[in-house]
Amino acid sequence: MAEVRPVPRSEAWARAATERAVERVVSALDVNALLDLVDLNAVLDQVDIDRVLDRIDLDRLLGRMDLNELVKHIDLNALVEQTDLGAIIAASSSGVAGDVLDVVRSQTVGLDEFIARWIGRLRRRPYTGPPGPPGRLRSGAGQ
Amino acid sequence: MTTRAGDAVPSGAPVIIRGSLQGRYSGFASRFTAFAVDVGISLGVFLLALAAISFAALVLTGKDITWHKGDIWVIIAYAVWAFVYFAHSWAASGRTAGMALFGLRVVRDDGTDASGRRAVVRTLALPLSFLFLGLGFVGILLGDRRRALHDVIAGTAVIYSWDARAARLRFLSRG
């Protein structure tokens, strides 16, 4: 056990006097006016966030957090009630349907191109892609 | 992945088309597949209607009606239904269900929307393209504007109406 050294009276008096002096200075200061003088943007520009983040030990931070306790504070029922699950399911299934449609269309267009190339070879006319668009569509469509 | 001259059509992964095809004349495979889907849909709906009529007759009169595919009235009824299906679809939106699935649209030969009159003429002229072993469809393969006989008669053309470039971007964005 460490030995407690008694503080000399003069040192205690000096410490108390310093604390009172600091208190008086701080109370006399207009902190808002002081902050107005500080250009926070300039300060933030000088801060290297990546370097700051590198110095944070996330594992240690998470180790100190009780996530179970945190989850207990979340009202899951209210969260589920506020979530439109139907919309989420509809969006995901319409996304799948859209993907299938894209694949089917792409495959048939690929077959169109395949046939057109072979016809071009038989006719000895180089195939340069699907013809068109028709006159009135020409201005708005095309590659 | 992009298609190149002479490439075979790969299976599984989508064929990625370099530019947008929107507005360009559609090819034989797309049109034929869309037509096959339309025939399937129209036939399916027609058979369902016949079954519903048989069921209703059985419930209301107690008599069982049987339909024969060689029956002239069945053929006429299907012809009328198919006419309504195609003509109404082309007049209303320029596309049937099959064409919507494959991203195709019927337009006038200058690219504007097909009118009701052209839609009717196109539907009536469609059987003519099947004559002489489907000679009327050769224009889709050999013509500069990929038009079949019924397109020429009605003054229409079939174009791609889907944005292949947007589909490519969607595909790339999903990695």
What value does the mean pLDDT of chain A take? Answer: 81
* Contact flag B15-A142 (C-beta cutoff 8 Å): no
Is A105 in contact with B159 (Cβ distance < 8 A)? no
Instruction: Give the count of domains, chain B.
Output: 1
Global pTM reads 0.64
Distance CA B78, CA B70 (A): 12
The answer to whether B24 contacts A130, with C-beta atoms less than 8 Å apart, is yes
Count interface pairs A-B at CB distance under 8 A: 131
Hey, which bits of B29-160 come out as E strands? 104-108, 156-160
Residue B5 has pLDDT above 70, yes or no: no
A41: pLDDT strictly greater than 80: yes
- The CA distances from residue A102 to B17, B112, B169, in Å, are 11, 25, 11
Reply yes or no on whether the pLDDT at B1 is more than 60.
no
User: pLDDT above 70 covers what percent of chain B?
Assistant: 88
Query: Does B170 reside within a domain?
Result: no
Structural domain including B109 reads: 28-163
Which residues on A lie below 8 Å from B7 (Cβ)?
A: 114
The pLDDT of B12-21, averaged and rounded, is 56
Q: Specify the 3-state DSSP secondary structure of B108.
A: strand
Q: ipTM above 0.95?
A: no
Going by C-alpha positions, the residue among B44, B124, B115 that lies closest to residue B78 is B44
Residues linked to residue B157 through DSSP beta bridges, in sequence order: B107
Q: Is A106 exposed, middle or buried (0-12, 13-18, 19+ CB in 10 A)?
A: buried
Question: Which residues of chain B have a CB within 8 Å of the CB of A124?
Answer: none
Nearest residue of A to residue B28, measured between CA atoms: A112
Considering CB atoms only, which of A115, A117, A130 is closest to B25? A130
Closest-CA residue in chain B for A103? B14
- Does the residue B56 lie in any domain? yes
Q: Is the pLDDT of residue B32 over 80?
A: yes
The pLDDT confidence band at residue A37, using thresholds 50, 70 and 90, is confident
Of B29, B15, B28, which Cα lies nearest the Cα of B164?
B15
Mean pLDDT of chain B, nearest integer: 86
3-state secondary structure of B105: strand
Domain ranges of chain A: 31-130
Query: B159 versus B169: which is more confidently predicted?
Result: B159
A98 to chain B, any CB pair closer than 8 A? The answer is: yes
pLDDT number for residue B9: 38
Whole-angstrom CA distances from B86 to A16, B28, B116, B139, B143 are: 98, 18, 11, 21, 24
pLDDT reported for residue B174: 66
Instruction: Map residue A44 onto helix, strand or coil.
Output: helix
Q: How far is A109 from chain B (nearest CA, A)?
A: 6
- Residue B65 vs residue A91, higher pLDDT: B65
Looking at the domain assignment, is residue B69 inside a domain?
yes
pLDDT tens digits, one per residue of A91-135: 666 777 888 888 889 899 999 999 999 999 999 988 888 887 887
